[in-house]
Amino acid sequence: MALIDIKVPNIGDFENVEIIEILVEEDQDINKGDSIITLESDKSSVEVPSSHTGKIKKINVKVGDKVSEGDLILKIESIKAESLNYEDEKINISKEAITSTEKIEITSKVKHQTTNLKSVLASPKVRKFARELGTDINKISGTEKFGRVTEDDVKSFIKLGLNQQQSIINTEKTQDTKIKIEYEYSDFGEIDIKDIPRIKKLAAPHLVNSINTIPHVTHHDEIDITEMEEFRNSLIDHYTGDKLKITPLAFIMKALVAALKKFPSFNSSIEDMKDGKITYKKYFHIGIAVDTPNGLMVPKIREVDKKNIQHLSAELREVAQKCRDLKIDKKEFYGGSMTISSLGGIGGSFFTPIINYPEVAILGVSKSNKKQILLGDQFKIRTILPISLSYDHRIIDGAEAARFCNEIRDNLGKNFAFKLAI
Ligand code: CAO
């Protein structure tokens, strides 16, 4: 089989630049488009892709060599007679990008696919480190001069960025499949174009990530809360003699936490099925979805197990107000066990809440209503609360979800007086 020369393509400003890394070895099979060497100029670095698929027979360069366009990099025994024609495939390098942001974007259109390579500054050791951890170094913002990426940057990216990275990937996926509307809305009447509120924009990738990565199932149930409501409505402030203003949500939080204690898999998180690990939380911090003029926020009410209903109710009001006044600290949005999304004060019966990733379940609560129920052989008027539990079917089975809902029902019903009294 004939040997094919793989040469340095025309990549703009990279004349007589140093090879800082050889990314392949002799006898290695590579695909067209795989990175083979890294070049670094004063201000930027770029990975050079192979123009052919095949087996590497000889590498003609070494780290430290200076190369320019047309210099031989390696010889390959081609498997297929397909090549990446750098001229025809439109490789655009923006010099402006190099000088102003120390970044290069090479756009290479291959078989209708677009590959975006953003080059960043990093030492070979750091590049190797990122590669070994399966991380695309080009997605990392470096903290050193000229945005150079350090080993610590790679570690922080992996630690903090896993969810975000996944969100971005998933958002890109959905954007790829976006259907282009082939008409103008204004063709059909008057319109108004406004900015999407910032909080909705921030939340969007998380919602898309959750729905794309978690196989959601929603279990609906109806809970008889007649006795709980009688009890709630009977609560009086001992000092003033006034009726206490406590909404059903404080009771539901307590009932949920009692159920979480019995069903620890609902108080867990999985970040990556591939690593086969699940984190069980021993704390009980409940996220509450709060409707604000700026969009939905989900602060956590910490240690619900250790607080009484009156305390929880007051904290809930305070935290919701902080969200609405945009005075809530960002850290209050992290570290939850499970979330409750209550539309009870608004209306509707049943909905399909989206799990607040990386949690594994969310409890949707709708508005309770008085209903005629057959109890024994008699119809009685009872107060019925509709609930909707969305759960991650990778970890939780339908039967477990049904048992979990039964437990919540019992905690709001027959167990209520013993476990949840103030
Ligand atoms: N059934 C019947 N009535 C209910 C109820 C329920 N499940 N839940 C609350 N209520 C009643 C309350 O008792 C209160 O009645 P009064 O005015 O007579 O006292 C009234 O509805 C309003 O309650 P609230 O909504 O102000 O208070 P809350 O503790 O129930 O909820 C909060 C607090 C912050 C969760 C809520 O204000 C909120 O923002 N809800 C929206 C959450 C949301 O948007 N979820 C959707 C997320 S998915 O997009």
pLDDT in the model for residue 86: 43
pLDDT in the model for residue 198: 84
Instruction: Give the residue from 405, 344, 388 showing the smallest Cα distance to 369.
Output: 344
Smallest CA separation from ligand 1 atom 34, residue: 290
pLDDT digits (tens, 9 = 90+) for 184-212: 999 999 999 999 988 888 899 999 999 99
Residue to mutate, 223, 247, 304, 332, ligand 1, most ligand atoms under 8 Å from C-beta: 247
pTM of the model: 0.65
pLDDT in the model for residue 279: 96
Q: Which atom of ligand 1 is nearest to the CA of 290?
A: 39
CATH domain 1-99 topology: OB fold (Dihydrolipoamide Acetyltransferase, E2P) (2.40.50)
CA distance 123 to 121: 7
pLDDT in the model for residue 106: 29
Q: How far, in Å, from the CA of 341 to the mean position of ligand 1?
A: 9
pLDDT in the model for residue 330: 85
H/E stretch holding 419 reads: helix 416-419
pLDDT in the model for residue 164: 55
- The domain ranges of the chain are 1-99, 120-193, 200-420
DSSP 72-103: EEEEEEEEEEEE--TTTTT-B--HHHHHHHS-
CA distance 395 to 144: 41
Pull the structure tokens for residue 22: 């050889």
Q: How far, in Å, from the CA of 417 to the mean position of ligand 1?
A: 23
pLDDT in the model for residue 268: 98
Smallest CA separation from ligand 1 atom 25, residue: 345
Smallest CA separation from ligand 1 atom 9, residue: 345
Name the class of domain 200-420.
alpha beta
Smallest CA separation from ligand 1 atom 32, residue: 290
Could you tell me the CA-to-CA distances from 330 to 45, 96, 183, 253, 338 in Å, in that order?
A: 36, 36, 40, 22, 18
DSSP 214-272: S-EEEEEEEEE-HHHHHHHHH-B-TTT-PBP---HHHHHHHHHHHHHHH-GGGGEE-S-
Residue to mutate, 230, 298, 339, 342, ligand 1, most ligand atoms under 8 Å from C-beta: 342
Q: Which atom of ligand 1 is nearest to the CA of 252?
A: 7
pLDDT digits (tens, 9 = 90+) for 90-110: 333 333 322 222 332 322 222
Which residues form ligand 1's pocket by a CB distance below 6 Å?
247-249, 288-291, 296, 316, 320, 341-345, 353, 365, 367-368, 385
Q: Which positions are annotated as active-site residues?
A: 393
How would you write the pLDDT of the chain (422 residues) with one tens digit per residue? 778 999 998 876 667 888 888 889 999 988 888 889 888 776 567 788 888 899 999 999 998 899 988 999 999 998 654 444 443 333 333 333 222 223 323 222 222 223 333 457 777 678 778 877 877 787 787 777 656 788 888 887 776 655 555 555 555 555 556 678 889 999 999 999 999 988 888 899 999 999 999 999 999 999 999 999 999 999 998 889 999 999 999 999 999 999 999 999 999 999 888 889 999 999 999 999 999 998 999 999 999 999 999 999 999 999 999 999 989 998 899 999 999 999 999 999 999 999 999 999 999 999 999 999 999 999 999 999 999 999 999 999 999 999 999 999 999 988 776 555 55
What number does CATH give the domain 120-193? Answer: 4.10.320.10
pLDDT in the model for residue 13: 64
Smallest CA separation from ligand 1 atom 16, residue: 247
pLDDT in the model for residue 291: 95
pLDDT digits (tens, 9 = 90+) for 348-379: 999 999 999 999 999 999 999 999 999 999 99
